[in-house]
A and B are shown apart, each in its own frame.
Chain A
């Protein structure tokens, strides 16, 4: 019989995505063997995360304050706004360290089959951000699937009246990847969108 608190910890850990019963047990034993401070630190971090992390009131990325780090950062360019579907996409773009503009997180895509329409996304908030005239270009970085494309097209129509540049991220063969490993649809698309040198 394992002690009840340990059993509860294993059960909670096993609820995490990608964590099975065995891994949960290994993690729980690891926590048990670690110095007491580790468990304290971990539990505090967990609580603080759920209590303090919320959505930035401007771009709707994650934040521990009214405005997130991206919105507060003075060095970033107010003229360019990158629109993404979710936080994970924002992180992916951020990892490139190429983009120094601001973000806007939609929290989803238009998907009639899943009952998600414009009102369920942060679209109104996006439009109201453009009112101050600082933004000169909006980059639509939704995924290149059916819903991502439709969302980009929908936004394009809404953004046109603002008289700013609306651009869409390019699609094609990943750099550093071998052509032989690219999937057929990507390669076919890259071939049809080829350019002259």
Chain B
């Protein structure tokens, strides 16, 4: 059930009434199994219902890809194209801070993509990301607490990217420098050559650390509050950064010192790293530690508790964008309701109904999401790659 007192921790309702970001229309062509789909979403909730394998997640993924240029599920780009077609295209008409923008992306069968803003080619990714942000919530997310660290790093980095758009280039540069250093380790390059890449990696890594720290400073308290508001679990949640092979306090150093410390750690680990041909220290080896009470949730939390921990994180991400940047992202929920128990699902649905964000939900069971849908919600039915208007489920007793 919704906890009414949760509101006081969150941004005031006045901020929510400003529609800074809204999708007005979505057109999808030859994307996954969707041949040609046009949707005019509701300003509130749009629900795509259908059986598994019919294409409702593909519809959500098309929108996610348009907003982030990343596939929602791991895939090569060419796999996004409908079988037998030459290219896939997704286009959205958005209202961004009062101005209407048409944003489109095409993927060719060669695996290349081209983005367009208002019909003109976007030269760089920076041109493209002019204020469309999305928070996606999928059944895969619900498993991150238990899963490998890379899932939690991805969860964290998606939130960092939404908050700090330059993080996209910064993290790409870091991973390029990391790959370069690993290649040098594998090729047994001389120390002088390797140390040039150590220093490059240390600078870029310090920047990643600083971004993640800034984000966690904002987000962790919100997530901890949201977790308390979800209720039914007495122990408090904690979300904190866990540095691989470095003292936890080092994470609070200013950026230049972070750079120095990472450089020292890289030098110290060099003999070990040369043996393994792999870099063993740095942001790529860290973890987002999620704790319940004083225990690692990964090992000790029940499945229901773990899901509540992710749910709280996602709500905090939305709230943090509103409080730090002043606008709500689009929310994409892929059949999450069937994975949550009834109370937590009700909490989520009530949150969606009152948070003010434009939501897109998929479900196999429309009754599960009807609480998120206002009378103005749009209901769609997805069957074998075609999308048609449908009706809200009959109200329950």
1/0 per residue, CB under 8 A from A, across B165-185: the answer is: 110011001001101110110
- Known contacts: A184-B169, A185-B169. The answer to whether A113 contacts B176 by CB under 8 A is yes
Q: Which residues of B contact A149 (CB under 8 A)?
A: 200, 203
**Cross-chain contact B166 with A112 (CB below 8 angstroms):** no
Set A113, A118, A153: member contacting B200, Cβ < 8 A: A153
Count of B interface residues, CB-CB < 8 Å: 27
**Cross-chain contact A112 with B180 (CB below 8 angstroms):** yes
| A1: interface (CB < 8 Å) | no
- Known contacts: A113-B183, A117-B193. The answer to whether A150 contacts B126 by CB under 8 A is no
Tell me the bound Cα distance from A31 to B173 in angstroms: 47
Set B126, B180, B187, B195: member contacting A146, Cβ < 8 A: B180
CB distance from A124 to the nearest CB of B (A): 13
Tell me the bound Cα distance from A48 to B173 in angstroms: 42
**Cross-chain contact B200 with A150 (CB below 8 angstroms):** yes
**Cross-chain contact B196 with A157 (CB below 8 angstroms):** yes
| B189: interface (CB < 8 Å) | yes
Tell me the bound Cα distance from A180 to B260 in angstroms: 33
- Residue numbers of B with Cβ under 8 A of A are 124, 126, 164-166, 169-170, 173, 176-177, 179-181, 183-184, 187, 189, 192-193, 195-197, 199-200, 203-204, 255
- Known contacts: A117-B189, A183-B126. The answer to whether A150 contacts B177 by CB under 8 A is yes
Interface residues of B: mostly helix, strand, loop or mixed?
helix
Count of A interface residues, CB-CB < 8 Å: 22
Q: Which residues of A contact B173 (CB under 8 A)?
A: 145-146
Which single residue of chain B is at the shortest CB-CB distance from A184?
B166
Which single residue of chain B is at the shortest CB-CB distance from A152?
B196
**Cross-chain contact B169 with A146 (CB below 8 angstroms):** no
Within A36-75, the residues touching B (CB, 8 Å) are none
Q: Which residues of B contact A154 (CB under 8 A)?
A: 192-193, 196
- Known contacts: A149-B203, A153-B200, A157-B195. The answer to whether A112 contacts B183 by CB under 8 A is yes
Tell me the bound Cα distance from A151 to B180 in angstroms: 12
Tell me the bound Cα distance from A111 to B126 in angstroms: 25
| A188: interface (CB < 8 Å) | yes
Tell me the bound Cα distance from A110 to B126 in angstroms: 26
Which single residue of chain A is at the shortest CB-CB distance from B181?
A112
6 contacts between A and B (CB under 8 A): A111-B180, A113-B176, A117-B193, A183-B124, A183-B126, A184-B126
**Cross-chain contact A153 with B180 (CB below 8 angstroms):** no
Tell me the bound Cα distance from A158 to B193 in angstroms: 10
- Known contacts: A153-B199, A154-B192, A158-B192. The answer to whether A188 contacts B187 by CB under 8 A is no
**Cross-chain contact A112 with B169 (CB below 8 angstroms):** no
**Cross-chain contact B176 with A146 (CB below 8 angstroms):** yes
CB distance from B191 to the nearest CB of A (A): 10
Q: Which residues of A contact B124 (CB under 8 A)?
A: 183
Tell me the bound Cα distance from A151 to B166 in angstroms: 23
Q: Which residues of B contact A112 (CB under 8 A)?
A: 179-181, 183-184, 187, 189, 197
Q: Which residues of A contact B203 (CB under 8 A)?
A: 149
Set B180, B195, B196, B204: member contacting A113, Cβ < 8 A: B180
Q: Which residues of B contact A192 (CB under 8 A)?
A: 255
Tell me the bound Cα distance from A113 to B181 in angstroms: 9
**Cross-chain contact A146 with B200 (CB below 8 angstroms):** yes
Tell me the bound Cα distance from A34 to B173 in angstroms: 50
Which single residue of chain B is at the shortest CB-CB distance from A150?
B200
Within A143-186, the residues touching B (CB, 8 Å) are 145-147, 149-151, 153-154, 157-158, 183-185
Set B170, B176, B177, B179: member contacting A185, Cβ < 8 A: B170
Tell me the bound Cα distance from A149 to B199 in angstroms: 9
Tell me the bound Cα distance from A126 to B165 in angstroms: 39
- Most chain B CB inside 10 Å of its own CB: which residue of A118, A184, A192: A184
**Cross-chain contact B166 with A150 (CB below 8 angstroms):** no
Q: Which residues of A contact B165 (CB under 8 A)?
A: 184
Which single residue of chain B is at the shortest CB-CB distance from A147?
B180
CB distance from B187 to the nearest CB of A (A): 7
